[in-house]
């Protein structure tokens, strides 16, 4: 049940979040609504207003249906089928919430062509030409890499203190490097030009650039603190669970809050734009959301609204990313089964001289029999058993774990077959083993018992 609640809590927020984001697309920002650039006169047009209202309503209906579609996700009993249901729902959420956008983008474009609203635009609409105002261009000031290096150093501290955490800390460290690379290279620094108004262009550009830096610095240091928390709370499963939740919520707020602030600023600063000449590059945006411009040599481009960047689908990198995303989305529901299929789940053991080695795939857990202090057969996991690093599927649970009142624990067992063997050693180590056959588990228990030492 805890796993079901955890999955529900970690995914369900996406539904209201996407609804708010999609609803926000109907508001005019940078002369754009639902991915269509329109002149000032079009904003109050009854037909445009009616389409925008219908779009919001349709998005709301789809979100309600998706909210109801969550119910079946609570039924599966197996871990794999539970993940399958949620991943399938996630796919549906991503695809179906975009459908009204695509539909009404098309309708709005048709209305725009019908009313001749694309006549007053500047040269930028011509796909064979691009015009830039060089007086508008400001060179971005990037934050020093040392700002991110500080977060990386803090992240690495637990590795120096507790060697058993190294795989997890290594992942955090690699994530920190990724944060810097995304901050520095996945951001197109193009000015936020919407018309000839230099002040507004500069204001919009500055806001976007400064928030972009702040987001990544905040996430980098939150990750560094989370890494320290992993060290301090590694043996306190419940507390560690909560710090994980807090870290996730904080990260979400750090990303979502500037996004909406910038959208608000774009809405307010460009409220009076579009009366005379303005920039319209709708031609480059397929369905109003995918940037396709073979003339643009860059793979990353400014998102149409908000803070983010998007990918130029016309570039080879953009095409690769697009295919990769589709493959990930298609395979997402199958991941748990693929994981099961690819991971060896047979637990085997062998006795050699004065130690027993329990193995599963390429993972070996060696128990020195002379150090074994206590061995017991149990039918339930120790209290607050929590994975620090390892694998968890329906058929195998292995890796480094922590549990309340026990030293760091190495686990290698089939979760579906009881009993399990709990081994405590006199050098403060703990092991939890179990095979797929209770008789073999009993055999292993006999081997591990202190009296079996030759």
Least Å distance, CB 30 to another protein, is 16
Rounded Cα distance between 40 and 274, Å, is: 5
Q: Is 276 in the site for another protein (CB under 8 A)?
A: no
Q: Is 130 in the site for another protein (CB under 8 A)?
A: yes
Cα within 13 Å of Cα(14), Cβ side: 18
Least Å distance, CB 296 to another protein, is 3
Give me the DSSP letters along 213-225: HHHHHHHHHHHHH
Of positions 111, 137, 186, 424, contacts another protein by CB under 8 A: 137
Contacts 24+ apart (CB under 8 A), 173-179: 175/223, 176/148, 176/151, 176/152, 176/220, 176/223, 176/224, 177/152, 179/148, 179/151, 179/216, 179/219, 179/220, 179/223
Please, which of residues 282-321 interact with another protein by CB under 8 A? 293, 295-298
- Judged by CB under 8 A, the stretch of 91-99, 122-130, 149-157, 437-445 that binds another protein is 122-130
Q: In sequence order, what are the beta bridge partners of 376?
A: 422
Integer-rounded Cα radius of gyration of the chain: 28
Of positions 44, 114, 128, 199, contacts another protein by CB under 8 A: 128
Q: Is 181 in the site for another protein (CB under 8 A)?
A: no
Cβ neighbours of 329 (radius 10 Å): 14
Q: In sequence order, what are the beta bridge partners of 424?
A: 374, 430
Q: Is 190 in the site for another protein (CB under 8 A)?
A: yes
Least Å distance, CB 262 to another protein, is 19
Least Å distance, CB 129 to another protein, is 5
Least Å distance, CB 138 to another protein, is 7
∠ CA(217), CA(317), CA(209), 5° rounding? 30
Contact 336, 83 (CB under 8 A): yes
Q: Is 451 in the site for another protein (CB under 8 A)?
A: no
Q: Is 107 in the site for another protein (CB under 8 A)?
A: no
Per-residue tokens: 125: 């609409």
Of positions 10, 78, 131, 357, contacts another protein by CB under 8 A: 131
Give the C-alpha distances (Å, rounded to integers) separating 311 from 139, 198, 261, 262, 356.
21, 26, 23, 20, 53
Q: Is 135 in the site for another protein (CB under 8 A)?
A: yes
Please, which of residues 55-74 interact with another protein by CB under 8 A? none
Per-residue tokens: 148: 């991110």
Q: Is 189 in the site for another protein (CB under 8 A)?
A: yes
Q: Is 359 in the site for another protein (CB under 8 A)?
A: no
Whether omega before 217 lies within 30 degrees of 0, making that bond cis, reads: no
- Residue among 121 and 441 whose Cβ is closer to another protein: 121
Q: Is 129 in the site for another protein (CB under 8 A)?
A: yes
Least Å distance, CB 257 to another protein, is 26
Least Å distance, CB 291 to another protein, is 11
Q: Is 191 in the site for another protein (CB under 8 A)?
A: yes
Rounded Cα distance between 220 and 175, Å, is: 9
- Judged by CB under 8 A, the stretch of 91-99, 186-194, 378-386, 437-445 that binds another protein is 186-194
Q: Is 355 in the site for another protein (CB under 8 A)?
A: no
Which residues have a Cβ under 8 Å from the Cβ of 218 and sit 6 or more positions away? Answer: 254
- Residue among 91 and 196 whose Cβ is closer to another protein: 196
The residues that touch another protein, with contacts defined as CB under 8 A, are: 123, 128-140, 188-191, 293, 295-298
């Amino acid at each position: 049940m805890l796993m079901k609640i955890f999955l529900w809590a970690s995914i369900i927020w996406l539904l209201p979040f996407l609804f708010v984001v999609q609803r926000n697309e109907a508001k005019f920002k940078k002369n754009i609504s639902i991915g269509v650039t329109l002149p000032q006169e079009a904003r109050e047009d009854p037909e445009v207003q009616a389409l925008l209202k219908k779009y919001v309503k349709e998005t709301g209906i789809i979100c309600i249906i998706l909210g109801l579609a969550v119910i079946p996700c609570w039924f599966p009993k197996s871990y794999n089928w539970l993940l399958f249901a949620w991943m399938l729902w996630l796919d549906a959420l991503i695809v179906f919430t975009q459908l009204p956008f695509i539909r009404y983008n098309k309708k709005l474009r048709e209305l725009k062509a019908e009313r001749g609203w694309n006549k007053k635009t500047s040269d930028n609409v011509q796909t064979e030409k691009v015009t830039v105002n060089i007086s508008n261009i400001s060179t971005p000031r990037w934050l020093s890499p040392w700002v991110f290096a500080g977060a990386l150093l803090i992240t690495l501290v637990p590795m120096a203190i507790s060697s058993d955490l190294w795989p997890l800390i290594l992942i955090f460290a690699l994530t920190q490097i990724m944060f810097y690379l995304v901050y520095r290279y996945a951001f197109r620094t193009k000015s936020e030009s919407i018309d000839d108004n230099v002040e507004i262009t500069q204001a919009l550009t500055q806001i976007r650039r400064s928030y972009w830096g702040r987001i990544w610095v905040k996430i980098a240091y939150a990750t560094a603190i989370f890494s320290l928390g992993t060290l301090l709370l590694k043996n306190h499963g419940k507390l560690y669970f909560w710090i994980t939740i807090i870290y996730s919520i904080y990260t979400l707020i750090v990303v979502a809050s500037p996004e909406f602030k910038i959208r608000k600023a774009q809405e307010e600063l460009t409220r009076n734009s579009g009366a005379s000449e303005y920039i319209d590059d709708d031609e480059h945006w397929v369905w109003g959301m995918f940037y396709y411009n073979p003339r643009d040599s860059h793979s990353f481009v400014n998102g149409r609204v908000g803070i983010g960047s998007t990918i130029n689908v016309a570039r080879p990198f953009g095409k690769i990313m697009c295919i990769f995303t589709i493959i990930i989305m298609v395979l997402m529901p199958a991941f748990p089964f693929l994981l099961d299929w690819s991971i060896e789940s047979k637990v085997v053991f062998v006795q050699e001289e004065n130690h027993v080695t329990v193995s599963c795939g390429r993972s070996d857990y060696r128990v020195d029999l002379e150090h074994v202090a206590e061995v017991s057969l149990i039918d339930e996991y120790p209290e607050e058993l929590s994975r620090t690093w390892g694998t968890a599927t329906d058929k195998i649970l292995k890796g480094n774990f922590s549990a309340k009142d026990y030293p760091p624990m190495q686990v290698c067992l089939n979760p579906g077959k009881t009993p399990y063997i709990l081994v405590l050693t006199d050098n403060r180590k703990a092991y939890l083993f179990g095979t797929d056959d209770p008789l073999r588990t009993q055999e292993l228990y006999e081997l591990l018992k202190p009296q079996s030492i030759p």
